[in-house]
Amino acid sequence: MAPRRGPGPVDVDALLTDPGTGIVVCCGSGGVGKTTTAVNLAAGLARAGCRTLLVDLDPQGNATMGSGIDKRTLPATVYQVLLGLADVATARRRAPMPRFRFMPATGRCAKSKCCMTGCWPFSRTIRICGRGMSS
């Protein structure tokens, strides 16, 4: 059977200039480079002039550390926002580069992992965290 072909070439420049574009880096397997890819992609897009919001949904918070955020100083995390215990403005941080914002996670978030295991609607996560781009 022949490989299935996609709809054709993607205009990446048009996608990146559209403020509604979201890029999700996910995979069920561990150790495949999700965090490295997400942090470097976000930093590269910010460096290229795109407003970037990286949302760390890993209970260990490795992307938070990889983005230069000190997890010990966070007033709130993405999990507290998703559970309604904090608002986006309280949790969102500026990464150490222009146009790069961040919704952090910490090891304390592991207890909240149940909200990410399928009973939590992913579309709600994107909607809530996407509010971080508006201010």
The conformation of residue 59, written as its DSSP 8-state character, comes to: T
Residues 6 or more apart in contact with residue 133 via CB below 8 angstroms: 19, 51, 53, 101
Residues of the chain short of pLDDT 50, as ranges, are: 1, 114-115, 118-119, 135
Q: What is the pTM of this model?
A: 0.72
pLDDT at 115: 47
pLDDT of residue 110: 53
The model's pLDDT over 47-86, given as tens digits with 9 standing for 90+, comes to 988 888 888 888 788 888 887 788 888 889 888 888 788 8
Determine the pLDDT at residue 64.
Answer: 86
- In terms of DSSP H, where are the helices of the chain? 12-17, 34-47, 62-66, 78-82, 88-91, 122-130
- Give all domains of the chain, ordered by start, each with its CATH number: 32-133 (3.40.50.300)
Angstrom distance (rounded) from CA 92 to CA 53: 9
